[in-house]
Amino acid sequence: MAERNLLEELMELLQEPGRINWALADQLADHLSGPSEAIDPWLADEYLEIAQTARMRFTDATDLRVDHTLQPVLVDRKGWARLHLRSFGYMVESLADLKGGGEGPLDSLLQPLGAIMAGLHAGLLAGSLSCAFGSFDTGLPTARPLGFTFHIPAIERFASEYDLDPLQVRMWVALHEVAHEALLGLPWVRPYLIDLLGDLTPDLEFDLNLLPEWQDALTDPQLPVGNFDFGPTLFSGEIDEDRHEKLQAAMSMLEGYVTYLVGEASEGYLPDREEITSAWIEHLSARYEELESAGAFPKTTAATGGGTDFYYEVRERWGSEAVGKVWLSSKNLPTVQEIEDVTGWAARVLLDDSFTE
């Protein structure tokens, strides 16, 4: 069988309509996610039951509403990439309008390349992130609800690799998926995060000097499955520091609240929860080191749940009702500084409430 030449295929796709070349993105994500993996039907049935149990436990233990229309989605790595690809489109839309940092014929040629580069990055992002357990552990919100996603082969490998009870690991993942979707389901949360992520680099420019390196990567007949390191990024631009700081705080608080809520919902039910969480943090750290080195993962998200301690301290000082106030609106989210200064956050949010009630 002849080797694939992605550059030739790319040229065939140049006429694809739209601001993002989704056909190219599909092709790259499909390649990076590797071959399809079979899912045992008996195991699939167990995941469906666990998802329903997790939904009920979460609803009973917390005040957050869970969208009753969301259903479990069971996938392998390739299925995960296909499911999530277009949900991260907001991360690459700005690439379609890139300039080369100058004026003239060469710069004008970049306009039709914008859709191609956006498609390449969309495929790289989805393909590389497809090792995730679900949607909760990507560090990025999906553009729309996808259901409770279970990447079954990845979850089972994780349990085996760390010698964990697979039944508890499955429930742990299910509770995280339910909590994640419930929090993103608050009317303002998903749009707020996507707005911050989509406009981090308003002055992004295309670095023409690095184009030959990407061409070499695309024509490499040994293009690896499951990993794709293009080398230096093709883009340059200043990050909006104000947005970046707000994003770091918001993602830390979102991931921290998911961990907090899972703790509430699994109390007395998952005896190995702390052990599973510690193993997951170790696993996640190694995964994102690989993704960052490949230029696939934006270094602007927390993806570690570091805000959990904030919620426990708020609860200890002012009670569970105060914890719930964090997510009433974006204005109630703590700043990066307030995450380490709970009293400062309380003075701004809780004290203001006492005067307005």
Tell me: pLDDT of 32 over 80.
Answer: yes
Separation of alpha carbons 64 and 320, rounded Å: 13
Q: What are phi and psi of 170, to 5 degrees?
A: -60, -45
Q: What are phi and psi of 35, to 5 degrees?
A: -70, 160
| pLDDT grade for 302, boundaries at 50, 70 and 90 | very low
The mean pLDDT value of the chain amounts to 83
pLDDT at 290: 67
Separation of alpha carbons 330 and 189, rounded Å: 8
| pLDDT grade for 14, boundaries at 50, 70 and 90 | low
Separation of alpha carbons 126 and 128, rounded Å: 6
- Poorest-pLDDT segment among 101-115, 274-288, 319-333: 101-115
Separation of alpha carbons 253 and 89, rounded Å: 23
Tell me: pLDDT of 156 over 60.
Answer: yes
Tell me: pLDDT of 34 over 70.
Answer: yes
Average of pLDDT values for 293-315?
A: 67
Tell me: pLDDT of 153 over 80.
Answer: yes
Non-local CB neighbours of 350 within 8 Å, separated by 6+ positions: 318, 322, 325
C-alpha closest to that of 126 among 222, 31, 255, 224? 31
Tell me: pLDDT of 301 over 60.
Answer: no
